[in-house]
Each structure stands twice: as structure tokens, then as C-alpha cells.
A and B are shown apart, each in its own frame.
Chain A
Amino acid sequence: MEELKKVIVPIGPYHPLLEEPEYFQLFCDGEEVVDVEWIAGYNHRGIEKLAESKHWDQVTFLVERICGICSTSHPFAYCNAVEDLAQIEIPERAKYIRSIIGELERLHSHLLWIGLAGHFLGYNTVFMWAWKYREGILDMFEMITGNRNHYAMFRIGGVRRNIEDEDIPILKKTLSEVEGKIKMLTEAVIDDPVLSARLKGVGILNKEDIKNYGAVGPIARASGVDIDVRKDDPYAAYNLVDWKMITTNNGDVFDKAVVRLLECFESIKIINQSLDRIKGTKGEIWKEVREIPKGEGIGRHEAPRGEVFHYIRSDGRASSPIRHKIRAPSYVNIPTFKASCIGETISDVCIILAGVDPCYCCTERIAVYDKEKKKKVYSFEDLVKKSIEKTEKIKKEIGKESKLWKKLF
């Protein structure tokens, strides 16, 4: 009888809303989740193998296409790795431009996440608004690099394109507009009693879990683990500008949201300072690199979701890497579900999965069926609906929304 009670809820691999297919099986006992299993590979494209057949320069374009949201992070880490291997020091102007691109990407990625988290909770307005503000950042990208995504900005030894002086005032103006909007969103989120009731104490990860699973990025920082590659192992211009690391202590979904929102302001600070430094100055933006010597190199970059890790090995003869190991932040962040989902209810799982920002966990048909093969098909929307229902319920219980929130919507 015990066996019959357990229900498997598969989440995925397709999702009506978003991005990559990913597949989770939730083993449930009633409403409670007792185990989670992650099945990946619906997006596996064999990039590590392909990198071994491409030229050093071509690999930057290949790794750019690992992920569309963090499409600078991988070339960033790859270039760091090759520069570590070949002991290349890049020109100072290139350092600033690299940081600017890296931080702009963090802004657009965090806004994207805020929008989706809002959608999962039933605040669809937040979804639309956050994505609208994000467009401003994409415009900045288009201005600097010529494309909205996949910027092709990085090359070994520097960057490909310069930021022209006449663009800087427009960039700064757009940035200050976006800053105002993010400020408004932050106040609304932190102030809202419904969101606090819904998100506080949900999906808690403690320091022990973070260490065991090696989790990185905002997930770790929300649990009070102060790791950030930009501070710990500075590269590009991150030690030349002034900024601080954001950490909070509770480790729940609410804190993850707060960390991400506050990080946006640090990013804006970094971009503004970097723009000021390069304004009016001239300088090289790349250094010619003739050959890559024999050896091995490790490069890291703090992507929006955490630390990206690239390991490169060269034999000094071939024009391509012998081995290229890539570890994306989600690879270590996703297994933390085992610690955060178990014991929670199904309606909370949705936002816990979203809270990790796993380059989205994707879902389409959620078939709830028990061991007797009695099939009952839920759609992913039902899961979101469940999540939204819970928010509504809490809203009613609390009976009020934040004043600011009301003013906004």
C-alpha cells in the first residue's frame, strides 16, 4: 500500500513558455515531495567534442552558443583560460570593455529572471514590465556590439570592438532610466507582504548544502556564503573599480530574489565607473596572439547564475584545444533541488525550481500518474495555476497588499 501512495510527477521536458527542455521527476507523497530526479540531455550538443575540432579563435564563437542568456560568460571564461595558459596580459581598455559587457549581461539576465519569477507567482504584470525594461539593455548591446544577443565581442587577447566616445552619453542615459525602474521593482518586491508570506522560508538551503553540492552564484550568496569570482580571483577590470558583494543569510527564495535585485545596482555602478574611465582615452583593444604554447589553463567568470569554469589543454602543436572542459553554473546549482525541494509541497516546487534560475527548468506536460498507471494529465499551466492559487489565498488571508504595489499596478 505504501508503494501505491507514491506518485511520480514528471516536469518536462517541454515547457510552453520558455527555453530549454529539462526534465524533472518529482516523487510525491500526497502534496509532499519526497525525492527529485533530474534527467538532462535534451539540450546536449556535444560542444566539448566539437571544440576539439575548431581553431582557437573559432571556439569563442562556439562557446558563445552554449547559452543564449549568458552568452558572454562562456567566451569570457574561455578567454581567461587561454590567457592563463599562454600568460597573456590584455590591454587596459579591453579590460574595461570586457567588464562592461559582462555586467550588462548580468543586468539583462537578472531582469529576465525577475520577470519569470513574477509570472510563476501570478504577478504577470511584473513579467511584462521587467521584460520591457530589459529591452533598453538589449538596445545598449545592439549599439555596442551590433547584435541583441550573441555579441561576438570577445577574442583571445582582448575584445573585437571598441566603445566609441559618442555612444557613451546615450549608454549612460539608458542605464539611468533602467536603474530607476529596477529601484521601483526592488521596493515593490521587498515591501510586499504577500510575496514575503509566499517566499520567505521556502526552499531553504543552508551553508552545509551549499558546500556539499558546490553551489555558486546568487544561490550561495543568498545563503550567506560569500563567494564571488570577481572578488576572490579578480580578472578584467573588477579590481580596478569600486563595488561590493551582496550576501544575505536566510537562503530562501525571497533572499535569492533580493540578492539578484541588489546585484543589479552593483552592476550599474561598475558599468558607470568603467564608462567614465574609458571616456576620452585611446588605447589598444586587443593584443595579437600568434601561438598557444603547450600547457593547461583554467579560466573562471562570475556569470549571472554563478561561476563558469573552463579548463583548456593544449599540446602546443595543434591549432585547437586537446581537451576543453566546460562547467556551467547550473550544473552544480540544479542538484541542490535534492536539498531544497524535498519536504515542500508541489505548489512551491515551481518557484523553488525557478529560484535557482537553472537556465530555466522546462516543463510542458505534467502527467500525474500513480503506480497503477491510472493516467491523469496535468499541464504545466496547472502547476503554475496551483502556484498562483496559493498566492491568491495568501493575499486573501493577509487582506492587504503593499501600498507601493497598489500604486504601481
Chain B
Amino acid sequence: MIEKLREKLGEKIKEINISNKKRIYITIDSKDLKDVIKTIFYEMGARYQIVTGIENFNNFELLYHFSFDKEDGIIVSVKTFIEKERPEIESLIDIIPGISYIEREIWELLGINFIGHTNLKHFLLREDWQEGLYPLRKGVKKDGRT
């Protein structure tokens, strides 16, 4: 599987991290995201699972999880980092239609802007939710106060 990934993606992979033989984490640059996802989703036939957004100490991290069900159930997670000053990334809505809702959720809870997403409206929180308050950020307490 790792060889296959290396062969298909080549230079685009910056780092491969294998936590055990069924969980592979690959790190890529955020500008390659669309190409990499296209390759994994269309050419390699992976099943889209979900996107995880994480706030680290000095950047944001997005993980796109893909499952290869018929190849021993390997999960490939594509990691990409976003700068804190400019939390933006391309939307993948034209590649995977089902990704629309999770992008909205990450926009809403973590404050990452998805360029090209046509419907970034409040989804889980109230319409009149305080602007700039993103509950999943580490600076926000669990009860929603900063």
C-alpha cells in the first residue's frame, strides 16, 4: 500500500507516518491537496470517511480520512497544515459532494475558511452565534467562554 501511494503521489508526499500496518498518515502541502485527493478518491478508489480539524499550538491541521475497504481495511489519513494567520484552504466540494456538511462544520466550529464553498452558513450553532467565537479552538473554554 505504501509503495502504491509513493508511486501515485511521488514528490507530493512530504512525510509518511505508519502507526501500525492498517493506519497510514501522509503529510502533504496544502497547495497539492486537490491533486492528492483526486488521485486517492478517483484513481485508487478509496472511500471518503470524514475530515478532522485540529488546532495545534502554532497552526491548524486538517486530516482527510480515506478507507481502502477491500485492501485489508487500511485507513489513509492525508494531513495538511494551515497557517494561523490565514486560515483558508480550498474546498473539495466539486470532487466529493458529500464533503459539504463537514466543511461547513469545520468552518463553524474551528473558523477555517473553505474557498469555493458556496453555502458557508451556520449549521450546528444558532444563526445569531457570536461572530469570531469558535468553540473547538483551544482558547475557548468548554462552556463557550474565552
Contacts and interface: CB of A to CB of B under 8 A. Distances in A.
Q: Do chains A and B touch in the complex (CB under 8 A)?
A: yes
Interface in B112-126: 122-126
Contacts of A265: none
Interface in A260-277: none
Best-buried of B49, B96, B123 by chain A (most CB within 10 Å): B49
A318 to B, nearest CB: 12
B101 A311 contact: no
A325 B50 contact: yes
Interface string A320-340: 001101010001100100100
Interface residues of A, number: 41
B139 interface: no
A84 B98 contact: no
A44 B124 contact: yes
Contacts of A227: 47, 69
Given A214-B48, A227-B69, A232-B69, A40 B124 contact: yes
B49 A327 contact: yes
> Chain A interface secondary structure, helix, strand, loop or mixed?
mixed
Chain B interface category by residue count: 35 or more
Contacts of B72: 232-233
Interface in B70-119: 70, 72-73, 75, 77, 96-98, 100-102, 109
Contacts, number: 88
Contacts of A297: 19, 23
A55 B56 CA distance: 20
Q: Decide if the interface of chain B is mainly helix, strand, loop or mixed.
A: mixed
Contacts of B12: none
A311 B19 contact: no
A195 B23 CA distance: 44
A11 to B, nearest CB: 17
Contacts of B54: 313, 322-323
B126 to A, nearest CB: 8
A107 interface: no
A212 B75 contact: no
Given A50-B142, A298-B65, A298-B77, A233 B22 contact: yes
B25 A229 contact: no
A298 B47 contact: no
Nearest to A323: B54
A213 B101 CA distance: 10
Contacts of B70: 232
Contact of B124 (A41, A53, A87, A323): A41
Nearest to A233: B73
Contact of A48 (B101, B126, B136): B136
B16 interface: no
Interface string B19-30: 110110100000
Nearest to B77: A298
Nearest to A327: B50
Contacts of B20: 84, 87
A296 interface: yes
8 contacts: A44-B124, A46-B135, A84-B19, A85-B19, A211-B47, A232-B69, A327-B49, A335-B97
Interface of B: 19-20, 22-23, 25, 47-50, 52, 54, 63, 65, 69-70, 72-73, 75, 77, 96-98, 100-102, 109, 122-126, 135-136, 142, 144
Given A53-B142, A232-B72, A234-B73, 10 more contacts: A38-B101, A49-B135, A49-B136, A85-B19, A212-B96, A214-B48, A232-B70, A295-B19, A296-B25, A325-B52
List 10 tightest A-B contacts by C-beta distance, closest first.
A233-B73, A213-B98, A41-B124, A325-B52, A232-B73, A214-B48, A327-B50, A44-B124, A232-B69, A214-B98
